[in-house]
Structure 1
């Protein structure tokens, strides 16, 4: 008991000593006391719970702010870099495209039909990827072309079958495939074999031929190429976008794309 009291007094002296005295105490002095009596720290924390948790809370908030700042700085650096050296997705004459191949802006989306952030409305109430793309298409009209690429995530059981139906539909008609694309996203809660067949019939596809093509090598290769490209360009989750080669990782609102397009235009004027 006497030793414990002496140790407490020693710790108090270390913590509360005037600056002139504290300056004479070395780290070794403090360490020796704490090594001999590790419970002293717990005693101090128990007696100052409120102050301790305030310190922890403040440290956590500061860390969050630092991480957010670092993320914003990294995004700004990537934006500058990608405006100068845009990423280049594969787009050929065979690519399923909405809009003119000569359009000023190219919006590419890597998406998953089951992803809750990829449909019309995200769980947080904001626009999902599908609605974002449609909003931009409506706003920019003939100046924007849109390319959809599959990135079915492995933990979404309905995503791969939906992607297969889309790619099988594309073998028949790009126009009808786009109509099926819309129905799949607008009815995410109905995804399943029965709905795929119903939707395919509704847009005028040959369902029997489509069923035969679902497991074709052409369909498998198309989806695999999309996934490989998305991963090579650094897209892990969905949705992911490219606007003239500048990446957008997530369901950012249309205003974010407006900002990027403005920066892209400004950079083009300088060159």
Structure 2
């Protein structure tokens, strides 16, 4: 029998029609928000990259994909939105604001998953900030810490990491131990390996179910894609 995840993967053809219809008009004004580039070789075409993403996503079950990553929204939602992000990326900070509003408006409809994608070639604080956020997550404060890092992005460094932990009343001894742990490094590495499997080329990068969304996409495009997925799901339930 067809699984729920398989049915959702089939939505990509409809969604590519949506992207083709509105993508140019929405994305061109946001050229300054194009993502930072990674060093890996990009796929030759958008279609080829989408096919690869579909294959990778389809090869894993839902729980494996999500893992222990921080999430927001409905854990049983049929729509899963992954964000691959770097705390030192300026464009990720802009996208964080957009996502806070988008996810807040659709908490019943989607599960939002944060994945670390540190671009170490250009961002020296990418990994230390990710480790600090992971440590905050061990005490249930990832999203507040996430916001604190982006709001204070021009101050990234050990002083800020400790300052935020203290402001959130985290157990400082545990926080420092956790961020320096092998477990923190392993968690970030798992996210990085997934990003590499997907051949993501920069931050932020988004995948909704198995649809790769351009990093510079504005909130309107996420709304349109979600509407298309929900319409498809409703039609199959009817």
Structure 1 match to 2:191? 226
Change (3 A) 1:80 1:268: farther
1:160-191 CA-partner distances (Å, limit 9, x unpaired): 110010112222x23x1221111111211121
Kindly state the Cα deviation for residue 86 of structure 1 after the two structures are TM-superposed.
5.6
Distance 1:157 1:95, change over 3 A: closer
Match of 1:135 in 2: 101
Look up the match of 1:101: 75
Distance 1:270 1:261 in 2: 14
Cα distance change of structure 1 residues 143 and 250 upon mapping to structure 2, 3 Å threshold: same
- Tell me which of the two structures has the higher relative contact order, counting C-alpha pairs closer than 8 angstroms and 6 or more residues apart: 2
User: Hey, what does 1:117 align to over in structure 2?
Assistant: 91
Change (3 A) 1:266 1:78: farther
Instruction: Quote how far apart the aligned CAs of 1:81 are.
Output: 9.3
2:129 paired residue among 137, 162, 169: 162
**CA–CA separation in structure 2 for the residues paired with 1:104 and 1:241:** 16
Deviation at 1:212, TM superposition (A): 1.7
Matching of residue 90 in structure 1 with residue 65 in structure 2? yes
Contact 1:83 1:264 in 2 (8 A): no
Give the match for residue 14 of structure 2: none
Bigger radius of gyration among the two = 1
2:146 aligned with 1:181:
yes
Deviation at 1:77, TM superposition (A): 8.0
CA contact (8 A) 1:108 1:243 kept: yes
Q: Does the CA-based 8 Å contact 1:108-1:146 persist in structure 2?
A: yes
Give the 3 Å change call, closer, same or farther, for CA 260–270 of structure 1 in structure 2: same
When normalised by structure 2's length, the TM-score is: 0.70
Q: Once superposed, what is the RMSD of the aligned Cα atoms?
A: 2.6
2:56 touches 2:198 (CA, 8 Å); kept in 1? no
Asked if 1:146 is matched to 2:112, the reply is yes
The answer (yes or no) to whether the contact 2:206–2:215 under 8 Å persists in 1 is: yes
Which residues of structure 1 form unaligned runs of 5+? Answer: 1-73, 120-127
CA distance in 2, matches of 1:225, 1:83: 19
Shift of 1:99: 1.9
Q: Mind listing any 5+ residue stretches in structure 2 that lack a counterpart?
A: 1-44
* Residues 1:81 and 1:211: Cα distance change in structure 2 (over 3 Å): closer
Residues 56 and 197 of structure 2 are in contact (CA less than 8 Å); yes or no, is this contact kept in structure 1? no
* TM-score normalised according to structure 1 size: 0.62
